Amino acid sequence: LVDVSCATSVVPQLLAHFLAEHKAIPFQSCAAQLFFSLALGGIEFVLLAVMAYDRYVAVCDALRYSAIMHGGLCARLAITSWVSGFISSPVQTAITFQLPMCRNKFIDHISCELLAVVRLACVDTSSNEVTIMVSSIVLLMTPFCLVLLSYIQIISTILKIQSREGRKKAFHTCASHLTVVALCYGVAIFTYIQPHSSPSVLQEKLFSVFYAILTP
């Protein structure tokens, strides 16, 4: 649901702009697009950490998996992920669209992406950049560190498995998740964790394609 919604918040408008000569988006639609993309992105980051914990239990504590990862815990972890995303997003969207957009209001991006909208402001945006940094640390770096800790334990356990078939099965349990983790966190960290030294606009567009389309 998160992946489908994340793609849906960006791709239909992107396709419409491919076909339109005048590529415009209403102010309210741009704000809504930013709100949902930020919220769903935050949910994705936390969910990936939750999934890493699930893999950790499956590989490192397999005999107690069903007892640990019971329905109640899964529901609480999923709810926590959704709440985390929807707490940060309204704050980021509100402070971004309160900025005076004095420039030509041409968003040089594939969507109403956070850094692209902030660049339209004709005032000092250092407070916005601090907010982006804090939000990135809480919703991006913290889950990423939890994922790293989980996989350190997982790899350590896999290396101790005697049978080749057992190691292969354990690796297959984690392979698809690890691929998405590398794409999702890698692109987001490179884009958001250092707004002052952010990549070029072209790189941002390419990263957005990875994040909004390829990862889901």
pLDDT, one tens digit per residue, over 37-86 is 899 989 999 999 999 999 999 888 889 999 999 999 999 999 999 999 89
Q: Which tens digits make up the pLDDT trace of 110-139?
A: 888 888 888 888 888 888 888 888 888 888
Residue 8 lies in a domain: no
pLDDT at 215 over 80: no
Residue 196's pLDDT is: 52
Residue 146 lies in a domain: yes
| Residue 9 belongs to a domain | no
Share of the chain above pLDDT 90, in %: 26
Q: What is the DSSP string of 135-174?
A: HHIIIIIHHHHHHHHHHHHHHHHHHH--SHHHHHHHHHHH
The whole model's pTM is what?
0.83
Average pLDDT, the chain: 85
Q: What's the rounded Cα separation, in Å, for the pair 189 and 196?
A: 13
Whichever domain contains 188, its CATH number is 1.20.1070.10
Tell whether 102 is covered by a domain.
Answer: yes
Q: Residue 207: which pLDDT band, with cuts at 50, 70 and 90?
A: confident
**Residues in the chain, overall count:** 216
The pLDDT of 25-48, averaged and rounded, is 90
CA 43 and chain centroid, separation: 7
pLDDT of residue 53: 94
Q: Is 5 contained in some domain?
A: no
| CB of 198 closer than 8 Å to CB of 191 | yes
At 101, the pLDDT band (50, 70, 90 cuts) reads confident
The verdict on residue 1 lying in a domain is: no
Q: What is the pLDDT of residues 147-195, one digit of tens each?
A: 999 999 988 888 888 888 878 887 887 888 888 888 888 878 777 775 5
For the segment 11-32, the average pLDDT, to the nearest whole number, is 88
Please tell me the distance from the alpha carbon of residue 121 to that of residue 177, in angstroms, as a whole number: 38
pLDDT confidence tier of residue 103, bands split at 50, 70 and 90 = low
- Does residue 37 belong to any structural domain of this protein? yes
Number of domains in the chain: 1
Residue 76 counted as domain residue: yes
- Assess whether pLDDT exceeds 80 at residue 198: no
Domain membership of residue 93 as a residue range:
24-120+129-214
